[in-house]
């Protein structure tokens, strides 16, 4: 792991966007693991800005998102599907069929987790994963003190998260 220091949120967002853009430029058909929440919003804003300038092309990129709320249809304004479309997907030239998020409406969580892991396996894994750290220290919705599980899984969120 390499730790990159940033002076503030804007600096962190640009540095993260630089890493992601380098991945997209070096491997246009890369698989990006993307996060939601407050942490990556500035990064997505920077990526959209560079796309609008003609510096980035997402036409061959495939994405897999970390999470989705269980029980929410993707069109719900609080879903992470909606979040990602509002903050990135609708603003760049990514192909709709190249966007992957867990299905929050599948109440058989074990089956949905296995299905999502299979999608990632068929894609050949994730080339670059963006993560955020929540106010209470959660990483990718894995609450502090909980063991990180391999693969897609359900977590119970704290009220703060």
Please give the pLDDT value at position 161: 43
Q: Tell me the residue length of the chain.
A: 161
Alpha-carbon distance of 21 to 28, in angstroms, equals 10
CA atoms within 13 A on the CB side of 111: 6
User: Residue 139 — pLDDT band, cuts 50, 70, 90?
Assistant: low
Helix (H, G, I), strand (E, B) or coil at 64: strand
Share of the chain above pLDDT 90, in %: 55
144 has a pLDDT exceeding 80: no
What's the whole-number mean pLDDT along residues 131-142?
62
Residues annotated as part of the active site: 67, 136, 138, 143
Tens of pLDDT, residues 23-54? 999 999 999 999 988 889 999 999 999 999 99
Q: Which neighbouring-strand residues pair with 100?
A: 64
Domains defined along the chain, listed by start: 9-129 (3.40.50.1360)
User: For residue 92, how many other CB atoms are within 10 A of its CB?
Assistant: 17
Q: What is the DSSP letter of 98?
A: G
């Amino acid at each position: 792991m390499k730790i990159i220091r940033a002076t503030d949120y804007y600096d962190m967002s640009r540095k993260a966007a630089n890493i992601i853009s380098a991945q997209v430029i070096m491997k246009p058909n890369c698989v990006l693991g993307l996060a939601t929440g407050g942490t990556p919003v500035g990064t997505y804003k920077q990526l959209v800005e560079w796309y609008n300038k003609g510096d980035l092309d997402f036409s061959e990129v495939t994405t897999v998102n970390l999470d989705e709320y269980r029980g929410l249809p993707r069109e719900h304004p609080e879903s992470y599907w909606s979040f990602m479309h509002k903050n990135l997907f609708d603003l760049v030239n990514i192909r709709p069929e190249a966007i992957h998020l867990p299905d929050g409406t599948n109440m058989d969580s074990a089956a949905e987790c296995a299905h999502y892991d299979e999608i990632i396996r068929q894609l050949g894994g994730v080339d670059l994963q963006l993560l955020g750290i929540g106010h209470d220290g959660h990483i990718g919705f894995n609450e502090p003190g909980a063991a990180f599980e391999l693969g897609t899984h359900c977590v119970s969120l704290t009220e703060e998260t």
